[in-house]
Structure 1
């Protein structure tokens, strides 16, 4: 198994897109990139802990290559928004790819450059590519939110503007 970690705004919306494929062992909501040890959701939501909301994906690269994870990631976000994602505003909702190996870094940089070269977006691509740091698992009530609270999840996605953006720009 390998790990991949992505920040794509609200972690509730980033679990389901990865959770249904063979080769994906586990998708965990959490926090990465900050300067506070063992942050809580309350710490992170203030925007002062330095953490981003992330999903950590444990995957079998022989069944589901990292490049496919990157493809799914890009299609869940607005890579031009440097102030958050959709209705979620603040540094904790910015986008990033956290890499664990040099190979992941190279593949992430290539995928980003391919997106830039495609000229799909007229604004600059601002998603950061950063070395992975300590991952802190989010509280239980955040895990698998789309399964535990399906109505709330659907309502939040619809209100956020994420689905409309994906439909317009990625479908």
Structure 2
């Protein structure tokens, strides 16, 4: 594996706790990190991001080997974790920090993200328009340690959160052919 095969992908899908587990089992994934991106404050804290005054999204940044894992595979899995029609947050998490977005790191990612968004819209899986924006990647700030791998550190709380938020019910309704994470 050479360094030129290593890429980053950044996705905002509402609560970052729920965006880690679906990706972590993928062959070719090197690292996944919860954090904040897209805002105007340097090194924001969780509390600052939750204040809705930093402009940041809760997001995950994946480092992957593109010889083993394609960007298209990441995009497909991303779409299956969110409500792409909601531009005000995700499930019971409301506000700008919980909006969805795809942050592209290069022109190839931008083109593939746009194509995947168009394909999802054409599929008519959702009645409402796809609202998830595709934006240029900006500085990614790692979230506090207690947010990293939250689902492993706090499995009961994580499961309760997922069920209570409505995320699992929504995903099962729109992606019944996929296994829940």
TM-score, normalised to structure 2, is: 0.94
Q: Secondary structure of the equivalent of 1:130?
A: strand
1:114 paired with 2:119, answer yes
Gaps of 5+ in 1: none
Q: Secondary structure of the equivalent of 2:73?
A: helix
Gaps of 5+ in 2: 1-5, 177-181
CA displacement 1:130-152 (0-9 Å, x = unmatched): 00000000000000000000000
1:18 maps to 23
Specify which of 149, 153, 156 is matched with residue 154 of structure 2: 149
CA displacement 1:82-111 (0-9 Å, x = unmatched): 110001000100000000010000000000
State the Cα distance separating 1:22 from its structure 2 match: 1.3
State the Cα distance separating 1:170 from its structure 2 match: 1.0
Structure 1 ranges of 4+ moved more than 6 A:
none
Q: Secondary structure of the equivalent of 2:120?
A: helix
Q: Secondary structure of the equivalent of 1:22?
A: coil
**Aligned alpha-carbon RMSD (Å):** 0.5
CA displacement 1:30-68 (0-9 Å, x = unmatched): 000000011000100111100000000000111010000
Specify which of 9, 13, 17 is matched with residue 4 of structure 1: 9
2:87 maps to 82
TM-score, normalised to structure 1, is: 0.99
1:138 paired with 2:137, answer no
CA distance in 1, matches of 2:88, 2:51: 14
